[in-house]
Amino acid sequence: MGTRHLHEILSERVSISGTMQLQLDEATDAWGIKVERVEIKDVRLPVQLQRAMAAEAEAAREARAKVIAAEGEQKASRALREASEVIGDSPAALQLRYLQTLSAISAEKNSTIVFPLPIDLITYFLKTNDAQTQKNAKAAAAAMAQQEKHEQQEEQRKQQEQQKRQQQKQTKSATVLYSDVKQPTKTQEASITVATLSEHQQSTAM
């Protein structure tokens, strides 16, 4: 048993049992003993060895799966390259593929249908959109500048009107003061007359 590998023990039990029986017969013939049958019924392995074997088997399976996936991707890449070369040489083939894709999408009865667009058309729309965006930005900047200019002019006009009203108010106040000084009221005239008569009477009495 110790000269065999584990996979040999598991797969060649019958032959190993026959070999062991021959060796036992050679040893027991001198004693007059005959071994009727040798059979390997069960192979028990240590727990650590079982875990190591399971990990090794899992790694081997993962490696094989990765190899198979890589081979599949390689074949798919080659097929895509060949298909792209064929479609590139024939624009009609591209259009046919486009129609086939639309037919397949419509057959699935989806509520949403996505229409693929050519790259050239998308690029054109992007450039047009960028140009329109720049144009709108310039127009918005010009409108803001015009609005600021209008607000400044309106503010200046309000300041001028306020200054003008203040000047008119000051002029009106000066006119009222001048009128009060130059044109005394009737009460003031009567007071002046009484004062004058009093002064005249005093001078006469003296």
Shared domain for 110 and 128, answered yes or no, is no
- State which of 116, 144, 160 marks the end of a domain: 116
Q: Which of 13-27, 57-71, 73-87 has the highest mean predicted lDDT (pLDDT)?
A: 57-71
Shared domain for 111 and 139, answered yes or no, is no
Shared domain for 71 and 133, answered yes or no, is no
Grade residue 68 by pLDDT with cuts at 50, 70 and 90: very high
| 111 vs 180: which has the higher pLDDT | 111
pLDDT of residue 196: 53
Shared domain for 154 and 194, answered yes or no, is yes
Shared domain for 194 and 150, answered yes or no, is yes
pLDDT for 121 beyond 70: no
pLDDT of residue 64: 92
Grade residue 20 by pLDDT with cuts at 50, 70 and 90: confident
pLDDT for 107 beyond 80: no
Shared domain for 33 and 63, answered yes or no, is no
Shared domain for 150 and 83, answered yes or no, is no
pLDDT of residue 1: 62
- State which of 65, 83, 116 marks the end of a domain: 116
Domain that holds residue 33: 1-45
- State which of 99, 116, 133 marks the end of a domain: 116
**Three-class SS of the chain:** CCCCCHHHHHHCHHHHHHHHHHHHHHHHHHHCCCCCCCCCCCCCCCHHHHHHHHHHHHHHHHHHHHHHHHHHHHHHHHHHHHHHHHHHHCHHHHHHHHHHHHHHHHHCCCCCCCCCCCHHHHHHHHHHHHHHHHHHHHHHHHHHHHHHHHHHHHHHHHHHHHHHHHHHHHHHHHHHHHHHHHCCCHHHHHHHHHHHHHHHHHHHHC
Overall domain count for the chain = 3
Percent of the chain surpassing pLDDT 70: 72
pLDDT of residue 116: 62
Shared domain for 60 and 36, answered yes or no, is no
Shared domain for 58 and 41, answered yes or no, is no
